[in-house]
Structure 1
Amino acid sequence: MGRDLFDSNHFFKRHMTDFDEQVEALAGFSLLDTVYNNNVKVVDPFSDPLKAGLSIYMVETSLVKMLADYDIRPDYVIGASLGLVAACTSAQCLSQEQGIRLLIDHGNIFKENCQEGKMLAILESVETYNQSPLLCEYSELAAINFNKSIVISIPYQNVSVVEKYLKRSNYSFQALPVSKPYHSQWMDAVQGRYKKIYNSINYSRPSVPVFCTVATEVLDSISPDSLWTSVRGCMQFEKTIKCIEDVGGGRYIDVGPSGTMVNFLKYILPNNAKSKAFQLLSPFKKGNKNLDSLLNDCQVNSVNSSYVVGELR
């Protein structure tokens, strides 16, 4: 999660360290000790709901603040899944401390009350899913990334049946590094607890437009319902991007920890699109090179910038 940038960019390091100090004061542990543990490989799953959510939020908000240090600020933000919390922080609807407290409660509820399961990314279309009685019965559609790329959620007791079916059907699929069936009916048992948390927060009006990949439109205001929908509903990334392209598009900056969303944009944006997509982080330690590329483009081209925040989870 951006170790090369952490070691070389004093802006990013300062914001990550400040965030870590807040988490340690509120939760009693250091995220940096977990994220930058030398005994953990970059490809190792990071599936603990509490630490995973906080770590992704830490990276996203620190990147946004680092970009502001370079005088790069978003004209709008896009939140995918729990990335909506970081999007709301970027849009000044939530303070960083409010976001940390929310995600601590969020993670603890998931760990203690939500059943185990999997999320599988499949290189097939929505039509393929809808035409399979077995998939419709034993799983739920969690995300439509772009044509021929979907994600399904499965409770633990159904995983074996679904994976055997996918292998038998010669479908290409990969498990996401999560331990819960997010964005599905198997979260509904915790809805009441979540709404109680969301209702305890005072939300400010967004300083820039906030897009949610479930609602696929601008959220005029942030509410308990919109936050719940962002983690429960089916994410529709392609549809959201097309809505933004319809009003002019611009420069998409992926502030997630792995560059997943930029990869999706390569398949969504047409070849003649004026919009550009930039990622900052990747598992292959290209943070400084990616940042230089973005900074150079910002000096040359004056276009709207949007921050795409969130991982598929």
Structure 2
Amino acid sequence: MGKTLFERDDAFRGSLEWLNRIVEAEIGASLIDYVFDPGKNPAMPFDDTRYSNQAVFCFEYALTQSLLAHGVYPDCVLGASLGELVAACVAGSLSPRTCIAMLADSARTMARTCRPGGMLAVLASPGLFDRDAVLSGNAELASISFDQHFVVAGTAAGMDVIETHLSARGVPTARLPVEYGFHSAAIDPARESLRRQFADIGASRPIVALLSCEKADFVDRPDAAHLDAVLRRPIQFKRAIERLEQQGDYWYVDVSLSGTLATYCKHLLGPYSRSSSVAVATPFSRHESLDPAHWLVAKYMPPTAA
């Protein structure tokens, strides 16, 4: 998870070390030591919310700082779920320090109030959710990625039922590495406390266009009501990209740790779209031997910029 960049890219390392000091002050442990622990089994799910949410936020934010340092500047930032906090920080609406503190508080709140839950990606038409009573009776629709991919969320038991049901019918699924059923009623016990935390977020107007996957539209200010909706309501990634495509052609740069959003974009961009998408980091990256300063610029600058 970003180890080559951390070792060889000054902008990424400097940003992550700064963020790590803030995280350590909040949770009493080093995120860098935890993530880069050589004794950690990479095959084990990374689902401890105390660390996983901080890791997603910090690594994605540090990736944006590396891109900026190498001359890649956004015209618009788009966030999905936790990524909305990263996008809001890059847009200048929120501060990383505030978001890290909020993530630490929310992890403690959910551990105290919520039962274990889960999220399950389903490789089928989102319409299946409404047609299949086993799905709609045991989960909520958490995300629509593209025409053949959606995510459901709910209790751990509900995910087990759905996974078994769909497997018997030959529908491919994949468990997401999370402790709770985000974007569903499974997190409702924490919402009142979280809303009080969100009220002190101190958001300002973005200086870069900020598009939300909860609204599938632009956001003037990510206030407490918006953050509550981001946590609870479905991720409308498909609609958000369609909203941007109405405006013109874009070069979508995915800074998520999995690179899945770039893949979703490839499915969403129509045959006449001149837009394109690329992932900065994926689990299967093959640039380990390259100087990050070179591959970031060479790979991620649009062909027309040459």
Q: Is 1:298 aligned with 2:301?
A: yes
CA contact (8 A) 2:214 2:235 kept: yes
Bigger CA drift: 154-163 or 217-226? 154-163
Structure 1 residues 28, 282: closer, same or farther in 2, change over 3 A? Answer: same
Structure-2-length-normalised TM-score: 0.93
Q: Distance in 1 between matches of 2:248 and 2:40?
A: 42
Structure-1-length-normalised TM-score: 0.91
Q: Distance in 1 between matches of 2:15 and 2:193?
A: 31
Superposed, which structure 2 residues align to 1:1-313 within 5 Å? 1-286=1-286, 292=294, 295-296=297-298, 298=301, 301=304
CA contact (8 A) 2:123 2:149 kept: yes
Give unpaired runs (5+ residues) of structure 1. 303-313
CA deviations over 1:189-227 (Å, ceiling 9, x no partner): 211111100001211111111111121100121111111
Aligned partner of 1:305 in structure 2 is: none
In structure 2, give the amino acid aligned to 1:295: V
Q: Distance in 1 between matches of 2:250 and 2:154?
A: 36
Q: Distance in 2 between matches of 1:138 and 1:150?
A: 15
Paired residue total? 302
Q: Distance in 1 between matches of 2:16 and 2:103?
A: 16
Aligned partner of 1:306 in structure 2 is: none
CA contact (8 A) 1:212 1:219 kept: yes
The DSSP-based 3-state class of the residue aligned with 1:211 is strand
State the structure with bigger RCO (CA 8 A, min sep 6), 1 or 2: 1
CA contact (8 A) 1:2 1:285 kept: no
CA contact (8 A) 1:2 1:287 kept: no
Q: Distance in 2 between matches of 1:223 and 1:44?
A: 35
Deviation at 1:64, TM superposition (A): 1.1
Deviation at 1:275, TM superposition (A): 1.2
Root mean square deviation of aligned Cα: 1.8
CA contact (8 A) 1:42 1:283 kept: no
Q: Distance in 2 between matches of 1:15 and 1:191?
A: 31
Bigger CA drift: 108-117 or 152-161? 152-161
CA deviations over 1:21-46 (Å, ceiling 9, x no partner): 12112321100011111222444311
Structure 1 residues 183, 18: closer, same or farther in 2, change over 3 A? Answer: same
CA contact (8 A) 2:77 2:208 kept: yes
Q: Distance in 1 between matches of 2:113 and 2:294?
A: 44
In structure 1, give the amino acid aligned to 2:66: M
Q: Distance in 1 between matches of 2:249 and 2:51?
A: 33
Q: Distance in 2 between matches of 1:238 and 1:258?
A: 18
Query: Once the two structures are aligned, what percentage of the paired residues are identical?
Result: 27
The DSSP-based 3-state class of the residue aligned with 2:143 is strand
Q: Distance in 2 between matches of 1:183 and 1:252?
A: 25
